[in-house]
């Protein structure tokens, strides 16, 4: 960056809009766990979320499945509440899945159920608010700058927990991080899922074209420019047929896309723009050519890309592939996990296939688990800050396992409890004994 690319802004007075014991940045699975974990320990807690609801990938990107890995006490409570009202179902397959099972859930219902749990815990919530970055005071993170309808302000905190998934607060504080494959920097694919409504499923099933006719229709549309696939899509549109999910809807409503850096704002925006416009064109094509789709329309676009990987903060310990495969336990273990190392990669990387033998070879033995040590939540060389969720300290293979939502919530709950312990003992988070945190979580 040259001097011409920089504008010097005069010093400004930034108002202090709040002061808390623990401030949690990001309201996804990790943030939900962190806010509840801290507030239930009796400390003043604030949860900051950029969107208009909590849930992160679960609610903003339509990732409606909790994978088969332990999620901790807060997750277990959330799951029970969702099951009790019929908003979740057990999809456990004893051949493919680890206990406690794999659960599908209703993404919209997840929003109020999780929000109610956060509010019941005593935490405050600030939605539609961007956590800009860390406020450094006397060599440590002592709060976060935020931006919302009220402008820019500062929220002070005794402990800040970065649950942004991309490690944004930690990076702003100068924390070292890793990103992508160490050889070529490739990042796991992102997903874009949207919904189509207004389909007469019964008529479509009765009058639908043959598989060959469907494929020809979309190949012709691609060839003559009426349609195009999203840049970087891993499954070109004709290859997506003739699958139907849910029943009566063509498999048009989701793409897996390579070479998208979730920490690059322009790339992120461009991908969302392209996918929304292409989805609209697809719906128009279906309306014109498919029986039962005459009144079809876009039901809902996601607020987020389904993101698997971005920054991984370098902590006091880096969890490794060997730790996962060895089902390694740690004195300062604060979360259990057992999901397989699931990498959605492009060449020269190799995505782990979903066949049982590959899954079994890339996770702990059935009935066993590995632990994530507290040190993975502590950014190396940065005081006053914890991280939780998919951005904790680990190598890329291990991240392919611990990135799933139950594990993110587990590490979030641990971080929240640790933040509360730090406040109660008047110490900084890196001075907390991880064994105390693990003990409160039953490890």
Report the half-sphere exposure of 332 (CA within 13 A, side-chain side): 16
Question: Is residue 3 domain-resident?
Answer: no
Please report the DSSP string for 207-226 in residue order: HPPPHHHHHHHHHHHHHTTS
pTM given for the model: 0.94
Question: Is residue 401 domain-resident?
Answer: yes
Strands 140-148 vs 151-162: parallel, antiparallel or unpaired: antiparallel
pLDDT at 358: 85
Q: b/e map of 210-219 (b: 16 or more CB within 10 Å)?
A: eeeebbebbe
- Residue 258 and residue 371 in one domain: no
pLDDT at 410: 98
- Residue 316 and residue 178 in one domain: yes
pLDDT at 45: 98
- Residue 55 and residue 141 in one domain: yes
Among 300, 320, 344, the domain boundary falls at: 300
Strands 65-66 vs 130-137: parallel, antiparallel or unpaired: unpaired
pLDDT at 222: 87
Question: Is residue 9 domain-resident?
Answer: no
Residues 6+ away with beta carbon under 8 Å from 87: 105, 106, 109, 110, 113
CA dihedral over 266, 267, 271, 277, signed as positive or negative:
positive
- Is the separation of the CB atoms in 333 and 369 below 8 Å? no
What would you report as the CA-atom Rg of the chain, rounded to the nearest whole angstrom?
A: 23
Question: Is residue 125 domain-resident?
Answer: yes
As to burial, measured by CB atoms within 10 angstroms (0-12 exposed, 13-18 middle, 19+ buried), residue 401 is: buried
Domain that residue 272 falls in: 190-300
CA dihedral (267, 269, 270, 274) in degrees, to 10, reads 140
Q: How many CB atoms lie within 10 A of CB 233?
A: 20
If the chain, 443 residues long, is cut into consecutive pieces of 10 residues, what is the mean pLDDT of each piece? 77 95 98 98 98 98 94 97 96 61 93 98 98 97 98 98 98 97 93 92 89 86 88 70 49 84 95 95 93 94 96 98 98 97 87 78 93 98 98 97 98 98 98 98 95
* Number of domains into which the chain is organized: 2
Separation between Cα atoms, residue 15 and residue 66, nearest integer Å: 40
Question: Is residue 410 domain-resident?
Answer: yes
Q: Is 42 helix (H, G, I), strand (E, B) or coil?
A: coil
pLDDT at 334: 98
Q: Is 57 helix (H, G, I), strand (E, B) or coil?
A: helix
pLDDT at 214: 85
pLDDT at 236: 59
Among 276, 300, 324, the domain boundary falls at: 300
- Residue 232 and residue 86 in one domain: no
Residues 6+ away with beta carbon under 8 Å from 169: 25, 131, 133, 134, 141, 144, 160, 162, 385
Residues 6+ away with beta carbon under 8 Å from 84: none
- Residue 50 and residue 166 in one domain: yes
Check whether the bond before 246 is cis (ω within 30° of 0): yes
Separation between Cα atoms, residue 148 and residue 238, nearest integer Å: 43
pLDDT at 17: 97
pLDDT at 205: 86
Strands 65-66 vs 45-48: parallel, antiparallel or unpaired: unpaired
Among 252, 283, 300, the domain boundary falls at: 300
Inter-axis angle of helices 107-121 and 29-39, to 10 degrees?
A: 20
- Residue 155 and residue 256 in one domain: no
> C-alpha 1: how far from its chain's center?
31
pLDDT at 248: 45
- Residue 295 and residue 312 in one domain: no
């Amino acid at each position: 960056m040259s001097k011409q690319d920089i504008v010097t802004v005069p010093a400004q007075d930034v108002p202090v809009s709040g002061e808390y014991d623990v401030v949690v940045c990001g309201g996804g699975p990790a943030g939900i766990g962190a806010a509840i974990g801290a507030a239930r320990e009796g400390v003043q807690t604030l949860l900051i979320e950029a969107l208009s609801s909590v849930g992160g990938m679960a609610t903003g990107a339509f990732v409606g499945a909790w994978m088969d890995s332990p999620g901790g006490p807060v997750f277990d409570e959330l799951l029970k509440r969702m099951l009790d009202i019929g908003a979740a179902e057990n999809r456990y397959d004893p051949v493919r899945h680890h206990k406690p099972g794999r659960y599908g859930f209703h993404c919209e219902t997840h929003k109020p159920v999780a929000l109610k749990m956060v509010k019941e815990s005593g935490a405050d919530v600030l939605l539609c608010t961007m956590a800009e970055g860390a406020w450094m005071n006397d060599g440590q993170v002592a709060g976060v700058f935020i931006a919302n309808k009220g402008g820019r302000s500062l929220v002070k905190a005794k402990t800040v927990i970065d649950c942004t998934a991309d490690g944004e607060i930690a990076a702003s504080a100068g924390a070292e991080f890793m990103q992508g494959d160490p050889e070529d920097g490739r990042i796991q694919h992102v997903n874009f899922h949207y919904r189509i409504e207004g389909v007469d499923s019964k008529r479509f099933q009765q009058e639908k074209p043959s598989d060959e006719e469907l494929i020809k229709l979309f190949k012709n549309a691609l060839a003559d420019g009426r349609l195009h696939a999203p840049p970087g899509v891993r499954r070109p549109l004709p290859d997506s047929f003739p699958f139907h999910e849910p029943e009566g809807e063509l498999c048009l409503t989701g793409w897996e896309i390579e070479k998208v850096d979730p920490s690059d704002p322009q790339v992120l925006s461009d991908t969302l723009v392209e996918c929304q416009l292409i989805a609209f064109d697809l719906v128009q094509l279906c309306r014109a050519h498919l029986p039962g789709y005459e009144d079809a329309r876009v039901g809902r676009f996601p607020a987020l890309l389904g993101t698997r990987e971005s920054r991984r903060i370098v902590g006091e310990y880096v969890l490794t592939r060997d730790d996962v495969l060895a089902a390694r336990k740690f004195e300062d273990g604060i979360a259990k996990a057992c999901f397989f190392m699931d990498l959605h990669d492009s060449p020269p990387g190799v995505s782990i296939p979903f066949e049982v033998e590959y899954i079994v070879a890339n996770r702990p033995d059935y009935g066993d688990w590995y632990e994530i040590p507290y040190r993975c939540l502590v950014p190396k060389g940065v005081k006053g800050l914890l991280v939780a969720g998919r951005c904790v300290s680990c190598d890329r293979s291990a991240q392919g396992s611990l990135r799933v939502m139950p594990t993110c919530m587990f590490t979030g709950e641990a971080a929240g409890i640790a933040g509360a312990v730090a406040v109660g003992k008047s110490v900084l988070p890196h001075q907390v004994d991880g064994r105390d945190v693990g003990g409160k979580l039953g490890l």
